[in-house]
Amino acid sequence: MRKDLGRVKNALPNVSSDAVKEYVRDGKIVVDGIELVAGDLTVQRYLELPSASQGQYATNSDNDVVVRLDIQVHADLQAEWLARELTNRVQRLRKKAGLQAVDEVHVYYRFEDGSGTELLSALKQHKELIQKTVRSLPTDVKERRADSESLIEEEQEIAEVKFMLYLVKP
């Protein structure tokens, strides 16, 4: 049988789908004149995607079902995710500072020069969502009054971008 391995391997690409289905059902198949039984071959289902199809897709199978996933990163969804992550960081910082939901605070951020452009864009694009949840629109720390009292500040990281986040008494 071992000596026939090369022959079987070379002939497998020419085996029809119907023959493979019969092998899965009956447990027998003849490949290049060599009879194989259940356990000799592993059958995996897959979906062949046309190279001209729009977007990026991935497929996976559990041998009963084939799933096709759109794995393309969509800019609008990415921006919404970033806005939600920023909101989440502010809420965690509020909790860490011991603030109640009704406590008013101003939120400030500071990015290193040249970083955070995607996050800032998401902030502008989804400011209503952020303001509704946080009840304050995060602002550049350069806008902060010098006499304002800091409640808490902490370095954060979202999508591999590190920045400082400040909660300040109004």
Q: Which of 40-44, 53-57, 116-120 has the highest mean pLDDT?
A: 116-120
Alpha helices in 12-158 (DSSP H): 17-26, 75-96, 117-125, 127-134
Q: Residue 66 — pLDDT band, cuts 50, 70, 90?
A: confident
3-state secondary structure of 49: coil
Token pair, residue 151, equals: 């409640």
| Lowest-confidence region among 56-70, 91-105, 118-132, 143-157 | 56-70
The pTM of the full predicted model, rounded to 2 decimals, is 0.63
pLDDT tens digits, residue range 105-156? 999 999 988 899 999 999 999 999 999 999 889 999 999 999 999 999 999 9
Question: Which residues is 30 bridged to in the sheet?
Answer: 35
Residue carrying structure tokens 């350069």: 142
Tell me how far the alpha carbon of residue 121 is from its chain's centroid: 19
Give the mean pLDDT of the chain: 88
Whether pLDDT at 2 is above 80? no
Residue carrying structure tokens 């991935």: 58
What are the sequence ranges of the domains in the chain? 2-70, 75-168
According to the model, what pLDDT value does residue 55 have? Answer: 64
Q: Give the β-pairing of 161-168 and 66-70.
A: unpaired
